[in-house]
Amino acid sequence: MRPAPFMVYKGSAALRLQLLPAAPKEEGSDFAAEGCIMLEMANAKEGKSRTYDWENKIIFKLSSKDVGDILAFLKKGAKGDVSLIHDPSKVPGADSNLPVKILAVNEHEGKWFWKLTFGEEKRSIPVDMSEMVRVQQLLNMGVVKIYGW
C-alpha cells in the first residue's frame, strides 16, 4: 500500500509529494531497489476556483541525494535558496533532446517559493511555515523509506 501524498493547494497552483518506498529486492540481488519521492506541480485551471490542471503537471523525481540537499538547506535555516537540476543529457540512455528540469526553493520573508521549470514550462507555489515544517518532517522520514530501512 502506498502512503498518502502530502498536498499543498493555493489559488495559483498545487504541489503534491508522493513517497515511493524502496522496492523489494529482485531475484538474485542482495539489495532492495532504492525508492524516491515524486514531486508534482500543477497550475490552477483558469477561471476555476481550487481546480488544478493535473493533466499538464510537471513531475520531478527526488532522489535520496535531492532530498538530502533540501534537508541540508532547511537545517541551515532555510535562508537563500536551493536549486536541483536534472539534465537528461547527462543520464546514460536518456533522451538528450528533453529539456532540463530545475527545482528551486527560495525563502523570502518567512515564506518559501517552490519553482519547477521544464524547458519553457513553469510552475510556482508559495509554501507557508506550517506546510514547510510538515515537508521537512516528511522528507526526514522519507529518506528512511527510500532506502527501505
Asked whether residue 15 carries a pLDDT value surpassing 80, the answer given is: yes
Q: What are the structural domain ranges in the chain? A: 6-147
**Using 50, 70 and 90 to split pLDDT, how confident is the model at 23?**
confident
Q: Which CATH architecture has domain 6-147?
A: Roll (2.30)
Report yes or no on whether pTM surpasses 0.75.
Answer: yes
**Using 50, 70 and 90 to split pLDDT, how confident is the model at 78?**
low
> What is the C-alpha separation between 53 and 94, in angstroms, rounded?
27
Q: Is 74 in contact with 82 (CB distance < 8 Å)?
A: no
Q: Return the number of other C-beta atoms located less than 10 Å from residue 18's C-beta.
A: 18
